[in-house]
Amino acid sequence: MIASGMTFTTTSPRSRTATVPGRTEAGPEESTAVSVAEHAPTQPTVVLSFDVEEHHRIEAAAALSCPSDQRATYAVRMEETTRRILDRLAAYRVRATFYIVGEIARTHPGLIRDIAAAGHEIGSHGWDHRRVHTFTPESFRRDLVQSREALEEVSGTPVVGYRAPTFSVTRQTAWAVDVLAECGLRYDSSIFPVRHDRYGVPDAPRTPFLVAGPSRSLLELPPTTWRLAGQNLPVAGGGYFRLFPPFCMDRGIAQQHRLSLPVAMLYFHPWEFDPGQPRLPLGRMSRWRTYVGITKSNRRLERLLQNYQGLFCRAIDIVNGLDSVRHELPRFQLGSHHD
Ligand SMILES: [Zn+2]
């Protein structure tokens, strides 16, 4: 169910008016659009995205071998928590984007069907949550195709968006852009324009852009940052959502509003909304990063849903809206160029 009725009117670069769907509380047959324009006094469009994986798959636990009974527990809790999130989204009539680990289509097909049936977008989060760095271009292609096919088969909807586990599309894995484009994906949302020990491309644009790999390019929807004192702070979700006071995310969203394409991309994981889950046996630092602020997450999500009511849409709606102005988007070379 891709929203229709989006238009872009291009008059001049300074007065360009982009219309993207910004109201997801309307049903698909009565979708309403809000106008976003350069420096216009509107609020940005906000994409809520959820990376759906069982808790033991997180990068911090990559070196652990999790016993099968604990994996089973996390799988059950992942489904329960995702369903609670679906209920909250439904209460606010918000449609979101869910980037889902492909294997979950095999283990929880009913959950995938219900997410799609509620009008949310289904995207790929890889087959089994391996970082892009662990693949060759060929094995990455197999992983991507396998996850996409499994998700499409179960959901009955096309999968055109990708979010790499641990934002692992970086300069080292620029070839992944070529593979994503060659496989027919319409966009990626894996390049975090921040400095971080595990991921990030600090000089990447902070608004939607065309990312160029060695030979292909693709639309990129980067997670939101807050630029402060010459640095991009990662305020879009995850641990930062739990650690930083809520005004940091608000500032990041407000700052997007002043940029040429005011789209805020936020990201969360279902396990972050499950404060009662058994804790993984992580080292001290990792444990802190993983669980900090976890008891506040549900309250904070509720606050977001209230505060930005009427401004939410799915990533695919942004992508459809940008189709006709693709050539005007900033272009960013991620990897070296080969002709
Ligand atoms: Zn993930």
Q: Does any domain span residue 212? A: yes
Centre of ligand 1 to C-alpha 37, Å, is 32
Q: Does any domain span residue 53? A: yes
Centre of ligand 1 to C-alpha 185, Å, is 18
Which parts of the chain sit beneath pLDDT 70? 1-43, 337-339
Centre of ligand 1 to C-alpha 228, Å, is 27
Q: Does any domain span residue 105? A: yes
Q: Does any domain span residue 17? A: no
Cα Rg of the chain (Å, integer):
19
Q: Which of 102, 113, 87, 120 is nearest to 52 (CA)?
A: 102
- Cα separation, 305 vs 89, in Å, equals 8
Centre of ligand 1 to C-alpha 166, Å, is 6
Centre of ligand 1 to C-alpha 51, Å, is 5
Centre of ligand 1 to C-alpha 339, Å, is 33
What pLDDT is recorded for position 23? 39
What range defines the domain where residue 63 resides?
40-327
Centre of ligand 1 to C-alpha 99, Å, is 8
Centre of ligand 1 to C-alpha 71, Å, is 16
Centre of ligand 1 to C-alpha 52, Å, is 7
Centre of ligand 1 to C-alpha 230, Å, is 28
Q: Which of 112, 155, 97, 115 is nearest to 316 (CA)?
A: 97
- Cα separation, 165 vs 183, in Å, equals 18
Report the predicted TM-score, pTM, of the whole model to 2 decimal places. 0.87
Q: Residue 26: what are its φ and ψ, rounded to 5°? A: -80, 150
Centre of ligand 1 to C-alpha 6, Å, is 30
Q: Does any domain span residue 306? A: yes
Q: What is the pLDDT of residues 11-33, one digit of tens each?
A: 233 333 344 444 333 333 333 33
What pLDDT is recorded for position 3? 34
Q: Is 97 helix (H, G, I), strand (E, B) or coil?
A: strand
Q: What is the pLDDT of residues 124-160, one digit of tens each?
A: 999 999 999 999 999 999 999 999 999 999 999 999 9
Q: Does any domain span residue 2? A: no
Q: Are 98 and 121 in contact (CB under 8 A)?
A: yes
Centre of ligand 1 to C-alpha 126, Å, is 9
CATH number of the domain to which 55 belongs: 3.20.20.370
Centre of ligand 1 to C-alpha 163, Å, is 8
What pLDDT is recorded for position 43? 65
Centre of ligand 1 to C-alpha 129, Å, is 6
Q: Does any domain span residue 334? A: no
Q: Does any domain span residue 27? A: no
Number of domains within the chain = 1
Cα 201 vs. chain centroid, distance in angstroms?
16
